Amino acid sequence: MSFDQRLAFVDIDASLAHARMLAAQRIISRKDLAAIERGLARIRREIAAGRFEWSIDAEDVHLNIVRRLTVLVGDPGKRLHTARSRNDQVATDLRLWLRAEIDAIQQRLAGLAHALIDQAERHAATVMPGFTHLQVAQPVTFGHHLLAYVEMLLRDRARLADCRARLNQLPLGAAALAGTTFPIDRMRVATALGFDTVCDNSLDAVSDRDFAIEFCACASIAMVHLSRLSEELVLWTNPRFGFVRLPDRFCTGSSIMPQKKNPDVPELVRGKTGRVFGDLIALLALMKGQPLAYNKDNQEDKEPVFDAVDTLRDALTVFAELIAGLEPDPAAMRAALREGYATATDLADYLVRKGVPFRDAHEAVAHAVRHAEAKHCDLVDLPLRTLQRFSKVIRADVGRVLTPEGSVGARRHRGGTAPAQVKAAVARARRRLRARP
């Protein structure tokens, strides 16, 4: 009872749809239906006001509600359970609850994506190092970097939409495992509750929780993306990088070191990612040994789902606020570009365009980089005459390709780092967010 109270309102919704179908099929009387509707409305108000008395003796949310209903309306309350079992009832409730939570998470995914897109638009031309192996590789823009996470979130959004479509099938009518002898109308209930269709096999309807496993898998992937962003924020706020500043409310100090500003929220999200992985593994282990049909093991299915929902939803909510308040330091980013010879590939491409075979160009640039290292300067700081010692085809126009702006600006194709392409990607991302996932 400490955790499945969360299902109370969807349990009432499902019971109302079931009762109305029973009345329409003349399985219960209209008088009984009116009493059931009146009693469930009162129970809903009691729960919302915190006045409902939950009893451990009643085992679960379903029995608590039906016992209270019977106290309130008498025999009509006892007739509500006609043509259903707690097995198909709980399967229905969990699908209804998770469907609503997926919708709420989708909104929060969109909120974080919008925060990233807004920052990307503001910093479409702010140059920074791109990394491979955590080593400076080539110049990119801060906007381009943030849009990479937008792409991840859009895929998370699509995965959750697919998960929602698969779970949106009605188990009610499967009863305990074999269906019911009463002349029920399952599609009427499905339509009333917003399900696309009904589960076609009664054994499968009551026993499988693959929809919950799939959600936890989707949640785990989404948390991986948040954890990767968290790791970058932890690195970027380190004074050795100094690329960004986080709003104070997302950080804490040290109990003994007054100078510290620790990136607590990114660290917490990074840590909670493992918690969601655990929820997924718990459900996989729960289901792997169960024969058909329903088993009491499935009493353990709710806590991992509830925990995964809470963790992902809260992480997305706080990250949207964090990203909106993020303050990049363009000077620190530019300074880091000068430490890794980030435009070396651009120089090699320049030589290739002048007719030098790529392998020869690669070797010439390697020599130029070693010379710059010895002189403790960047490639762009080498005099033209010095660069020409490594390749005779180098001319005065080489300066354009050796700057960070020249490097990012030269990649003008879709998906490239040119500021105009970043802004075009921003516009596409906004359109994709407006469309249904």
Active site residue 133: yes
Given a contact cutoff of 8 angstroms between Cβ atoms, the answer to whether 210 and 162 are in contact is no
| Position 408, amino acid | V
The first and second tokens of residue 286, run together, are 């729960």
Instruction: Determine which one of 133, 255, 376, 413 is catalytic.
Output: 133
Helices (H), 59-85: 61-73, 75-79
Instruction: Determine which one of 29, 55, 254, 367 is catalytic.
Output: 254
Given a contact cutoff of 8 angstroms between Cβ atoms, the answer to whether 221 and 57 are in contact is no
User: Is the bond into 293 cis (omega within 30 degrees of 0)?
Assistant: yes
Torsion of CA 17, 108, 265, 221, to 10 degrees: 80
d(CA 421, CA 426): 9
Q: How far is CA 33 from the centre of its chain?
A: 41
The label of the residue with tokens 């100078």 reads 259
Q: Would the CA dihedral through 288, 290, 292, 297 be positive or negative?
A: negative
Backbone angles phi, psi at 139, to 5 degrees: -70, 140
How far is residue 37 from each of residues 17, 43, 52, 78, 213, measured CA to CA in Å? 10, 10, 17, 13, 34
3-state helix, strand, coil in the chain (%, to 5): 65, 5, 25
CB atoms within 10 A of CB 232: 17
Active site residue 254: yes
User: Is the bond into 165 cis (omega within 30 degrees of 0)?
Assistant: no
Catalytic residues: 133, 254
